[in-house]
Amino acid sequence: MPKIKDLPKVERPREKLIAKGAENLK
């Protein structure tokens, strides 16, 4: 799985939301 931080926010907005969800679960 590619690093979300390395991907532009505009290209992967959905993955960024998933990342935020993962951070909230931690």
Q: Does pTM top 0.95 for this prediction?
A: no
The better pLDDT of the pair 16, 9 is held by 16
Which helix or strand (DSSP H or E) is residue 24 part of? Answer: helix 13-25
- Domain assignments of the chain as residue spans, ordered by start: 1-26
The better pLDDT of the pair 19, 13 is held by 19
Q: How far is CA 9 from CA 6, 18, 21, in A?
A: 9, 12, 15
- Sequence-distant (≥ 6) Cβ neighbours of residue 2 within 8 angstroms: none
Q: With beta carbons less than 8 A apart as the criterion, state whether 7 and 18 touch.
A: no
pLDDT of residue 1: 57
Say whether pLDDT at 9 is over 80.
no
